[in-house]
Structure 1
Amino acid sequence: MTFHARTFCVRSREAIANGYALAAVTGADWLRRAASQVFVTGSFWAGAVAMAAAVATLKIVRRDDVPTRLGQLGQTLRDGLETRSHQFGLSIRQSGPVQMPTLLFEGDPDYRKGSAFCSAMLARGVYFHPKHNMFLCAAHTEADIAVALEAAEHGFATVAAL
């Protein structure tokens, strides 16, 4: 798995086939029936490598109970960000599922605080996005979350000094 331990933003295609070009469309039965009436083609439909990667990835997801683990890691991250923001007298909003965190600063319509926060974190080797959700992945560990929270302290201190 290609992964930088402190990057909290990965492309969604990496989740299903570990970086290989593969997409999946799901939906209700009535939508699948309607879609079956439309001719669709693609460039990589005979690409066995991506399919094999997806099968292997899904086995790991099941074996390691990745959704539960990401929920726990995401909650640890969310709780840690909340605690640290209060330590610096800052009000933040966190939204989305904990596995796809979004962190925004109250009273920051131009994302000035968010950009300063993310720049300060990046200086500590952790990439957060100032106005978009991010994605945890199976490669993230408790140690990665700890590093991110340590960098967040630097980020919150930077924002508090604005």
Structure 2
Amino acid sequence: MHRADFGFSVLPIYLKNGIPFNNVTFTTLIREIFAENKVKDAVELFKKLVREDICEPDEIMYATVMNGLSKRGHTQKTLNALCKDGNLNATINILNEMKQKDIYPNIVTYNSIVDGLCKLGQWEKVTTLFSEMVNLNMYPDVRIFTILTDGLCKEGKIEDAEEVMEHMGCRA
């Protein structure tokens, strides 16, 4: 019916009767919020579900979010927000969904994802993203070199950080 407000009004009845919320419940709500063109509200609900561990998003929920965002041109913004929230699993899943639909992130998105991966010490994933960027003819900018150098130094990988700085000098 494209009335997400009706869906939200049913949630207290679920609580009162001990009916647990699940992915179907929240995916339906997110889909309807997007249908009402309330992108910010849909994204906030999705982020809250993930951040507060209310439910573990599945492929259908990710696809619903990707579909809603893609139709409205907000995909990059959401990936950046998820990275900043530290939810890299959701970010990687959405990134993979994007690539399957031939929607590729820009340098700003890659910078955000690399920053999050560096903070978690996920160096293999950083390397994979770098290779992916180069394969897409998207070359690292000063920001991404700074992120890498900072992350490597914080982990005591000074020689690796120096190597990154040498590459940065070659790119300048």
Q: Which has the higher helix share?
A: 2
Q: Same fold (TM over 0.5)?
A: no
TM-score range, shorter chain: under 0.3
The structure with more strand, counted as a fraction of residues: 1
Task: Answer 1 or 2: higher relative contact order, Cα 8 Å, separation at least 6.
Answer: 1
Q: Which TM-score applies when normalising by structure 1?
A: 0.22
